[in-house]
Amino acid sequence: MKLCCVTSYCGHTGDFASRLYELAEAGFEYCSWGHQWCTDFLYTKPEITEIRRVLKDAGIKILDIHGSKGAEKCWFSPTEYIRLAGVELVRNRIEMLAELGGEGGAVVLHGPNTKFSHESIPAEKTERMTRDALIQIEYAFRTLDELMPVLEKCNVKIAIENLIWDDWGLVDRYLERYPAERLGICFDAGHANILGNRMNEMEQRKNRLVATHIHDNDGVRDLHKPLFTESMDCEALAKLIATSSYKDQVPCFELSMRNTPYWDEAFEYPWEQSEENRKAFLKDAYESCARFGAMIEAAK
């Protein structure tokens, strides 16, 4: 099975070329663009041209892009100029994916989400965040309505990601409003593993799975570790993917070396991590990803 890993395994800004070469060297056939996933950065033609060149030279393909809700450009903001700026930010990633050869792939987005009620979350915080989400969703719909022609032209999908504390209350509203060929779910397995194993929520909607963010954690913190290192029910996850609309697609692993033995605490910034440590992390990560890929194949 072919495998995909995010480019942001050691930071989401700065040099991308070394990350693409390292992913390819480790054995990954695909990458998921994780750079600038939470910023207002707009990719220009020279940058996209250079990314395309490096992808070709490294012999690795792009699968999808983690789009940004932006820092000051937010695609579901009730403030119109901020929302319109967010529209341009999402449009930038949609067109970028198509230009890089990712037709049929997805731009993954964080959107407004109503919140799961849990004893570890203060009730007033849950109520406030849910109240805000119910307002923001109408602006999210306005943006997605405007972007549907762009998605059609570029042959790209939007994948709405389940977030930590997400009770999936708004997910079905996206799925009901937009066609499967243009919008689906990015299942973040790590997020679903926090506050208890909540894979059953994706199980109910697995016919709309269009992207994956696979990683492990301790059920409390969003660690983005390789599988088989913490508490993820890997067998159940493999079966879910193998019986979903995504069963014949490339699984994407949203990994970070920060919470692994390969992370050198002596350095403050991700880009200071040594090439030796990055490559060693990816070597081990690839082995765990390949092991999980075999589990998906066996579960089909």
Reported as a pLDDT band with limits 50, 70 and 90, residue 206 is: very high
Q: Please report the pLDDT score of residue 281 as a whole number.
A: 98
| Alpha carbons within 13 A on the beta-carbon side of 200 | 3
67-81, 121-135, 147-161: segment of lowest average pLDDT: 121-135
Going from the C-alpha of 257 to that of each of 55, 201, 262, the distances in angstroms are 22, 28, 6
Q: Please report the pLDDT score of residue 290 as a whole number.
A: 98
Reported as a pLDDT band with limits 50, 70 and 90, residue 62 is: very high
Total domains, the chain = 1
- Three-state SS for 1? coil
Claim: this prediction has a pTM higher than 0.95? yes
Domain that holds residue 165: 4-299
Q: What is the pLDDT of residues 167-181, one digit of tens each?
A: 999 999 999 999 999
Q: Is the pLDDT of residue 203 over 80?
A: yes
**Which residues face 160 on adjacent strands?**
109, 185
Mean of per-residue pLDDT scores for the chain: 96
Q: What is the pLDDT of residues 99-148, one digit of tens each?
A: 999 999 999 999 998 887 777 778 888 888 889 999 999 999 999 999 99
Q: What is the CATH number of the domain that holds 112?
A: 3.20.20.150
